[in-house]
A and B are shown apart, each in its own frame.
Chain A
Amino acid sequence: MKQATPPSLSVQPVAVAPGVVLHDLCKDYGTQRAIETLGCEIRGGEFTVLLGPSGCGKSTLLRMIAGFETPTGGRITLDGRDITALPSSQRNIAMVFQNYALFPHLDVADNITFGLNVRRTPKAEQAQRLDGVARMMGLAALLARKPAQLSGGQQQRVALARAVISGRPVLLMDEPLSNLDAKLRAEMRVEIRALQRRLGLTLIYVTHDQVEAMTMADRIILLNAGQIEQSGTPEEIYSRPATPFAARFIGSPPMNLVDAADLRIAAPPGTIAGLRPEEIEIADDGDGLPVRLTGHEYLGADILVSVMAGTAATARLILRRPARLGLPEGPELHIRWAPAALHLFDPKSGRALTAAPAATAPGHRAAG
């Protein structure tokens, strides 16, 4: 937070924020199923990101938790209490909307205290809480402005302040940074993360941006086509993706996924092999899988090298290496990787195979 003088403790950390559990939740729109029956636990006090491509149902899920959409089946419990049928206002949750949803006719102060006003909180208490939140969010100088007179980042802070002042322990955010420019987005990521930690909120955050998910989340729930593809900490999902979708969605550039045969890995036909770009090395000693250099991209610190592998040279791989090592001399190269870095996905189920096959493939480096 900017100007992080501890405010007059009008916004106190939530003692133990409650968790949210989704029990066999599903949602249909007409005959279209938006959310397949799914269940998961969102732990109290954690930063959980609902991540997925557009149309995967992540916003629908959030809106069901908020109470703006009624699930077709299943239950939602908050702190053990069934809230499925409760109106939004009685769910003890606050929300930050994608377009901030600030009331254009109210000034910043009135926007922030809107909820307190509605609930008839005494004026003196309102003023005190407003003061604390405004200082915490760096909005003290802007209280008399109308939303139209604020920058995108300031509007975002007002929306956050309005959610925080309620003192509600569960905060929902729907793509809150998508309207900001890249620099501001990076700043706000840090701010939101710090705010969540400081107040101990249970934060459920919807985004399609894997960078936001990776940098902010305690736990990511990765959604695809209305189903949970994988859930876990960012490290877990990055290092052990459960499906090719998870492997491609997280990481930039994404994991290389090619036919296992193209990497000369003994596996049932159709098995997909996955390698992270940074896990592939150029073997200068000529030992390893022969590939052909096809291009490169300079990123400053790193360089991305594109190579083609496989019998017909059709398997495209991207590998990342420090730019100071320069571009390897091509066009014929050899690459290798650590056995543990290899991910294999079952051709039928599409799930990750837990045990990598015996390390007989030529690309494998000696264990070390």
Chain B
Amino acid sequence: MTFAAPASAPTSATAAAPVSATPGVWPRLDRVLMSAGAWMLGLLWIAPLLYAAWTAFHPSAYETRFDLLAPLSLENFPLAWKQAPFARYFLNTVILVTSILSVQLVVGTLAAFAFARLRFAGRGILFGLVLVQMMVMPDILLVENYRTMRMLGLVDTIAAIGLPYMASGFGIFLLRQTFMTIPRELDEAARIEGVSLLGLIWRVYVPLAKPTYLAFGLVSVSAHWNDFIWPLIVTNSVSSRPLTVGLSIFASPDSGVQWSVINAATLMTSAPLLIGFLLFQRQFVQSFMRAGIK
């Protein structure tokens, strides 16, 4: 279900045509190989999705049998929807993702502004620590995080899933880099008019960093929508479980492996992100380009 990163693979076909004065066989061959490679990668990436779509829209008899004339069917979807509390899982995931993102944006904006434009003792060391956060794999901290959540009495809550991610080092870093590119003169022009520090952030820095916010928002939402291990560990009940965990329980062997229904559920759970990305594809790609993320 990670589709944010590999989406750029097909575009690499346009890169790196060798510079040759005589149009010989080699450059053409090279281009053919390049586009073949790009297609391979693209197909490899989309294959599971195609398989999921194929099985979800056909009766279970066609799970492992490919037949173009197989009868289409929509009954897998209501079947899946009824077998597990997906509505609740959806709600949990939406609450999770929006609360993480909104706290990340507030914390990230304030921290990034401080790192970019304020002078205070220990700025370098603190920023170094923020960078260190980006270098540590979150999975290493699973046990420690669980211990912290238990101490806080938050185990098996949505807050527990989100809390470890709410101060995002990546978000702070990204926004700081963007803020530092904003000309100081704009800052001064606003200050001379008498804006407060928060007013300055809100009226000048935030609007000018919009592409970065959009790009970071996409990364954050898709990462936490798809996050699995941590929520699996920290949640035990329907009321706190996000979609990913709910889906995995639904698809576990003891509930009987029926791929058509499982894939229908998979499509349902990933649909909001897929559709959202397809609709706003152009804006997202532009934001990524402008925010300098590749």
Contacts and interface: CB of A to CB of B under 8 A. Distances in A.
Given A103-B204, A105-B207, A118-B199, A88 B183 contact: no
A166 B192 CA distance: 11
B50 to A, nearest CB: 42
Interface string B119-157: 000000000000000000000000000000000000000
A97 B185 CA distance: 7
Contact of B185 (A87, A94, A101, A166): A101
A119 interface: yes
Contact of A101 (B188, B199, B203, B208): B188
Contact of B193 (A97, A98, A104, A114): A114
Nearest to A162: B189
Contacts of A242: none
Contact of A89 (B183, B186, B193, B210): B193
A162 B185 CA distance: 14
A119 B195 CA distance: 8
Contacts of A89: 191-195
Nearest to A168: B192
Interface string A255-284: 000000000000000000000000000000
Contacts of A90: 194
Given A105-B207, A105-B208, A97 B188 contact: yes
Interface string A100-140: 01011100000000110011000000000000000000000
Interface in B180-221: 183, 185-186, 188-195, 199, 203-204, 207-208, 210
A88 to B, nearest CB: 4
Contacts of A103: 186, 189-190, 203-204, 207-208
A101 B189 CA distance: 6
B194 A118 contact: yes
B192 A88 contact: yes
Given A103-B204, A104-B208, A105-B207, A118 B195 contact: yes
A36 to B, nearest CB: 25
Given A105-B208, A118-B199, A98 B185 contact: yes
Nearest to B192: A88
A67 B189 CA distance: 12
Contacts of B183: 99, 101
Nearest to B195: A118
A68 B191 CA distance: 9
B100 to A, nearest CB: 27
Interface residues of A, number: 23
B191 A87 contact: yes
Interface residues of B, number: 17
Contacts of B210: 105
A88 B185 contact: no
Nearest to A91: B192
A184 B59 CA distance: 74
Given A103-B204, A118-B199, A88 B191 contact: yes
A119 B193 contact: yes
Contact of A95 (B186, B189, B204, B208): B189
Chain B CB within 10 A, most for which of A87, A94, A115, A162: A115
A93 interface: yes
A94 B192 contact: yes
Which residue of B190, B193, B195 has the most chain A CB atoms within 10 A of its CB atom?
B193
Contacts of B204: 103
Contacts of B195: 89, 118
A88 B188 CA distance: 9
A90, A98, A105, A162: most-surrounded residue (chain B CB, <10 A): A105
A237 interface: no
A162 B190 CA distance: 11
A88 B200 CA distance: 14
Contacts of B203: 103, 114, 118
Interface string A194-208: 000000000000000
Contacts of B186: 101, 103
A162 B193 CA distance: 10
Given A101-B185, A101-B186, A103-B204, A95 B194 contact: no
What 3 A-B pairs come out closest when comparing CB atoms? A89-B194, A115-B193, A101-B185
11 contacts: A66-B192, A68-B191, A99-B183, A103-B190, A103-B204, A103-B207, A114-B203, A115-B193, A118-B195, A119-B194, A166-B193
Interface of B: 183, 185-186, 188-195, 199, 203-204, 207-208, 210
Given A98-B185, A101-B183, A114-B193, 17 more contacts: A68-B191, A95-B192, A97-B185, A99-B185, A101-B185, A103-B189, A103-B190, A103-B204, A103-B208, A105-B207, A114-B190, A115-B193, A118-B190, A118-B194, A118-B195, A119-B194, A162-B189
